[in-house]
Structure 1
Amino acid sequence: MGSVDAQHVALLRELLASTPWLDRTEDFAKALRRTRDPGGLMLIGTPDEEPWHLAAHLDDEARYSGLPQLAPSLVRWQPPPDAPAHLRIGLDRLAEARRGQTLFVVNSDEEAPVPLLERIDDARRTGATILSLDQGDRELSSLAHESISLRPEREPLTFEGLQHLVSTAAGQPGAERKPGLRERLSRFLDVVSGPRILD
């Protein structure tokens, strides 16, 4: 994340400190981090609006936080055949969705189009976890295991700002991070050897 974006998020967090939004975005971010393996997070928007900005931020967070499972596969409705491989992922990817994988749906419209809802339902049936970020789309939220909805006219937050908060929170697992083998071994040796007495 660039310095301007980081400052923007820091300011947002300060402004929203007395509201429920920080807890809501952090809870949602926990669901994102439950994706098991790299490549298991699929990100999709609507045919008219692809979530490029969010994809870039999640990719950055994956790199900076050491959580490769956060790097999303941007699923596109009509990818150009001559696009680079990572920008050529089409709707066929959703048919491969399995348990342990996550489909993250971003809908900035009032209602998701029916073809999108049908594909979400199919991915859910094959075991994928469905997450949605929307602006009050009840039908989409009903299909999602976890959803976060924003009504910009009622909240001190924009839809783009919400995406910033979610992606930043996803890259900050904090206490949820499990210690690696080296850390666990070091702790074990400390316990076994007991306190060290220095001469």
Structure 2
Amino acid sequence: MDAQHVALLRELLATTPWLDRTEDFAKALRRTRDPGGLMLIGAPDDEPWHLAAHLDDEARYSGLPQLSPSLVRWQPPPDAPDHLRIGLDRLAEARRGQTLFVVNSEEEAPVPLLERIDDARRTGATILSLDQGDRELSSLAHEAISLRPEREPLTFEGLQHLVSTAAGQPGAGADRKPGLRERLSRFLDVVSGPRIVD
């Protein structure tokens, strides 16, 4: 789905709550602190390749490297390129300030996935979930957006496009509180006064 189709989809959904919901969810995505801190995982037999590619594009276009996800794979081939060889051990390294984005297109997440999500949550990672009405998965997530396609004018793939596009839009993270570095930089600017550049 290209940008023109996403714009058309946004226009069609303008009178529904979906745009606000995806923009709120995108703000949570943008709160990931550092590049490499966003992990993306799906069910063992349904890796979210498509969404990973779109988030990577949005990271480049928007100048927000923290949106470029690490695609966590259940059984990565040992001869795969480095960025496609990230296995489940990455979840064991999840810490506060990092985000685990779970995409589950099935009605219920498999138990091994739920166990790994719970482990990452316990080590301080923020859990985001995009699912199709999975209550157990949603209960583990700090932020969740659920779609029941039989009840909504939107497909699961369309929802992924809305979320990734919203994540890269200016202003999606405008209500984020500035971090320590940003506050310190502002303070130093005020104290040192204006800089003169020759």
Measure, in 1, the Cα distance between the counterparts of 2:38 and 2:66. Answer: 7
- Structure number with larger C-alpha Rg: 1
Q: 1:95-136 CA distances to partner (integer Å, 9 max, x unpaired)?
A: 000000000000000000000000000000000000000000
TM superposition shift of 1:7? 1.0
Q: Go from structure 1 to structure 2 and tell me whether the alpha carbon gap of 1:121 and 1:6 turns closer, same or farther (over 3 Å shift).
A: same
3-state secondary structure, aligned to 2:78: coil
Structure 1 regions of 5+ residues with no counterpart? Answer: none
Q: 1:125-152 CA distances to partner (integer Å, 9 max, x unpaired)?
A: 0000000000000000000000000000
3-state secondary structure, aligned to 2:174: helix
Larger displacement relative to structure 2 (157-166 or 179-188): 179-188
Normalising by structure 1, we get a TM-score of: 0.87
Larger displacement relative to structure 2 (9-18 or 166-175): 166-175
Measure, in 2, the Cα distance between the counterparts of 1:91 and 1:50. Answer: 13
Q: Go from structure 1 to structure 2 and tell me whether the alpha carbon gap of 1:184 and 1:96 turns closer, same or farther (over 3 Å shift).
A: closer
3-state secondary structure, aligned to 2:129: strand
Measure, in 1, the Cα distance between the counterparts of 2:84 and 2:26. Answer: 24
Q: Which runs of 4+ in 1 moved over 6 A?
A: 177-199
Q: Go from structure 1 to structure 2 and tell me whether the alpha carbon gap of 1:162 and 1:184 turns closer, same or farther (over 3 Å shift).
A: same
TM superposition shift of 1:178? 9.0
3-state secondary structure, aligned to 1:42: strand
Q: 1:69-107 CA distances to partner (integer Å, 9 max, x unpaired)?
A: 000000000000000000000000000000000000000
TM superposition shift of 1:195? 15
Measure, in 2, the Cα distance between the counterparts of 1:161 and 1:119. Answer: 27
Measure, in 1, the Cα distance between the counterparts of 2:64 and 2:78. Answer: 30
Q: Is the 8 A contact 2:31 2:176 kept in 1?
A: no
Measure, in 2, the Cα distance between the counterparts of 1:34 and 1:65. Answer: 14
Q: 1:8-61 CA distances to partner (integer Å, 9 max, x unpaired)?
A: 110110000000000000000000000000000000000010000000000000
Measure, in 1, the Cα distance between the counterparts of 2:101 and 2:95. Answer: 14
Measure, in 2, the Cα distance between the counterparts of 1:197 and 1:90. Answer: 49
TM superposition shift of 1:166? 0.1
Q: Go from structure 1 to structure 2 and tell me whether the alpha carbon gap of 1:82 and 1:154 turns closer, same or farther (over 3 Å shift).
A: same
Q: Go from structure 1 to structure 2 and tell me whether the alpha carbon gap of 1:7 and 1:114 turns closer, same or farther (over 3 Å shift).
A: same
Q: Is the 8 A contact 2:59 2:168 kept in 1?
A: yes
Q: Go from structure 1 to structure 2 and tell me whether the alpha carbon gap of 1:116 and 1:196 turns closer, same or farther (over 3 Å shift).
A: closer
Measure, in 2, the Cα distance between the counterparts of 1:107 and 1:191. Answer: 47
Query: What number of residue pairs does the alignment pair up?
Result: 196
Q: Go from structure 1 to structure 2 and tell me whether the alpha carbon gap of 1:7 and 1:180 turns closer, same or farther (over 3 Å shift).
A: farther
Q: Which one of 90, 112, 116 corresponds to residue 115 of structure 1?
A: 112
- Kindly indicate whether residue 21 of structure 2 is the aligned counterpart of residue 52 of structure 1: no
Q: Is the 8 A contact 2:129 2:138 kept in 1?
A: yes
TM superposition shift of 1:5? 1.1
Measure, in 2, the Cα distance between the counterparts of 1:196 and 1:140. Answer: 51
Q: Go from structure 1 to structure 2 and tell me whether the alpha carbon gap of 1:81 and 1:157 turns closer, same or farther (over 3 Å shift).
A: same
TM superposition shift of 1:186? 13
Measure, in 2, the Cα distance between the counterparts of 1:190 and 1:80. Answer: 49
- Specify the alignment match of 1:185 in structure 2: 184
3-state secondary structure, aligned to 1:79: coil
Identity percentage over the alignment? 95
Normalising by structure 2, we get a TM-score of: 0.88
